[in-house]
Structure 1
Amino acid sequence: MADRLLFSKTGRAKYISHLDLMRTFQRAFARAKIPIKHTEGFNPHPFVSIALPLSVGYSSQCEILEFGLMEGTGREEVPGRLTAAMPEGIVVHQCYPAQRKLKELAYVNYIMNMEYPAGRPQETESAMRELLGRDSLIMQKKSNKAKKGYTEVDLIPLIRGWNLECQSDTMTLDAVLSAQNPGLNPELIHSAFCQEYPQFRPDMVTFHRREVLDKDGTPFR
C-alpha cells in the first residue's frame, strides 16, 4: 500500500513550480534520512507523485503527495522530520496510508480574492453574481492536444457551488470546482469576469486551495 502526505504550500513557496516541488521533496526525503521506494529501470530515482499539480503562484493548505515509505520509519515521525528539511513555506501536516483511489478526488475548494486598493466599485458584486448565474459560460482553455492550441469549455457545469463576500476593497469568491476529467482552474473564472466586465478588473487577484473533496463533498485523504 502506498503512503500519502498532506502538506501546505504558502508564502514564497507558492512560486515553486510543480517539477521543482517534486525535486524538493526527493531531496528532503534524503536529507531527513527517510527511506522511500524508488522507480525501477536503468536510472532509478525516488518515487513521489503529487495529486492535482498546483499552478505557480497559488497557495494551498491541502496538497497531497503519494510515495512509498520503506520499513524502519514510523509514519508519525515523517511530518516533523520532513518539514525540518523543507524550504520555508512548505509544512507537512500528516502522513498516512493511501486507502482511497485518487480518481475519487472529485472537487476542489478554492478561495479567489480580488483586490481593489482604491476602493471596490459597488457594481462588482452584482456583476460577478450575474456571471456565475448564467446557464452557460464558454471560455477558451489552453490545450496541447488540440490543433488550435485551445479547447472551449463551459464553466458553469464545472462549478458545484459558490459563495461571494465583499468588503470595501475586496471581493472574495469561495467556490467548489470540478477537480479532474475535466478540472476547472479558478483563473478561468477570473478571466471570464475580466473579459465580460473589463471595467471591474481588479488590481490584484490571489488564489488559495482550501480543501480537496470527494463526490459527496467530504475532505479527500
Structure 2
Amino acid sequence: MRNSHRLRFSKLGRAKYISHLDLMSTFQRAFLRAGIEIKHTEGFHPHAFVSIPLPLSVGFSSECEVLDFELVGETAKESVPARLNAVMPEGIVVQKCYDAETPVKALTYVNYILSLEYENGAPFGAETAIRELLGREGLVVVKKSRKAKSGQVEVDIIPLIAKYTCEGRRDTIALDVVIRAQNPGLNPELIMKAIRTECPDAAPDFVTFHRKDVLDAGFRSWE
C-alpha cells in the first residue's frame, strides 16, 4: 500500500518571485533530477503528481510551504530533503519529508508577518490607528471576484482575522496576524488595502509579506 508524503519547505530571497505554476514545475523537475521516483498522472502525457495546498502569492516569502506527493519505488523519505536541495534553485530549501497523515481540510489558519516600511519614519499615531482599525466589529473591503457579475465582491475581513499584534519601530510597523487559511481564506493584501483606504496617513511606502506558519484549528503548527 502506498502512503502519501508531504514536504515542508521555505521560499525566500529571489525565489519568492517564482509563480505557483512555475514552482510546481520546479519541483517536478527536481524530483526527476534527484532520481526520486514519485507517482505520476495517467494518460498519454503523464507528469509528476505534486500538490501545494495553499498557493503563495508572487512576491511573498515563506518558511512553511507544504507540498504533497507520493513516493514510489525504494526511496526512503528521510533521504528526500538532501537529494532535492542538491538540485533546487537558490531560495527554495526543503526542510523535511514525512507521511501526510493530517488532511488538508484541517489546515485552518496562516500566520503572516507584514512589515510596513516608511522612508521618513513611521507617522505619529500610525500604530494606534492600525490597532483601532483591526479592532472594529466589522471592516468591509472590496476585492476582485471572478464569480460575481460585477467582477468584485464585498468582504468583511474582521471575522477572518483570528489574532494580531502590532508593534511600531522607528521606520517600520510589524503586523503579526493569524488569519483564516481557507473556506473562506483571507489574503493579507486585503488588510493592507483596508489600511490604505481607512487610515491613509498610516499607509506605508513599502510592505513585505512573510508566511511564518500554517496552523490547525487549535493554533498548533499543521503538518
TM-score (norm 1): 0.98
Deviations 1:99-140 (A, max 9, x none): 011000000000000001211112101110110010000011
- Aligned to 1:50, the other structure's residue is in SS state coil
- Letter of the aligned partner of 2:100 in structure 1? A
- Letter of the aligned partner of 1:142 in structure 2? K
- Aligned to 2:159, the other structure's residue is in SS state helix
State the alpha-carbon separation in 2 of the partners of residues 41 and 101 from structure 1: 27
Aligned match for 2:76, one of 54, 64, 74: 74
Aligned match for 2:7, one of 5, 8, 24: 5
- Letter of the aligned partner of 1:121 in structure 2? P
Q: Does 1:148 align with 2:150?
A: yes
Q: Does 1:105 align with 2:69?
A: no
Aligned equivalent of 2:204: 202
Q: In percent, how many aligned pairs have the same letter?
A: 60
State the alpha-carbon separation in 2 of the partners of residues 78 and 143 from structure 1: 39
- Aligned to 2:51, the other structure's residue is in SS state strand
Alignment of 1:165-184 (within 5 A): 165-184=167-186
Aligned equivalent of 2:215: 213
State the alpha-carbon separation in 1 of the partners of residues 98 and 111 from structure 2: 22
- Letter of the aligned partner of 1:206 in structure 2? T
Aligned equivalent of 1:131: 133
Alignment of 1:33-112 (within 5 A): 33-112=35-114
Kindly indicate whether the alpha-carbon contact (under 8 Å) linking 2:123 and 2:201 is maintained by their aligned counterparts in 1: no
Residue 71 of structure 1 deviates from its aligned partner by 2.2
Deviations 1:152-189 (A, max 9, x none): 11100000000111101100100100000110011100
Aligned match for 1:19, one of 16, 21, 39: 21
State the alpha-carbon separation in 2 of the partners of residues 148 and 40 from structure 1: 39
State the alpha-carbon separation in 1 of the partners of residues 18 and 73 from structure 2: 30
State the alpha-carbon separation in 1 of the partners of residues 86 and 153 from structure 2: 42
- Aligned to 2:190, the other structure's residue is in SS state helix
Kindly indicate whether the alpha-carbon contact (under 8 Å) linking 2:196 and 2:203 is maintained by their aligned counterparts in 1: yes
State the alpha-carbon separation in 1 of the partners of residues 20 and 64 from structure 2: 15
- Aligned to 2:204, the other structure's residue is in SS state coil
Q: Does 1:193 align with 2:195?
A: yes
Residue 93 of structure 1 deviates from its aligned partner by 0.3
Residue 42 of structure 1 deviates from its aligned partner by 2.2
Kindly indicate whether the alpha-carbon contact (under 8 Å) linking 2:130 and 2:202 is maintained by their aligned counterparts in 1: no
Runs of 4+ in 1 over 6 A off after TM superposition: none
Deviations 1:52-99 (A, max 9, x none): 100000000000000011121101100011011110000000000100
Alignment RMSD (CA, Å): 0.8
Structure 1 unaligned blocks of 5 or more: none
State the alpha-carbon separation in 2 of the partners of residues 27 and 150 from structure 1: 37
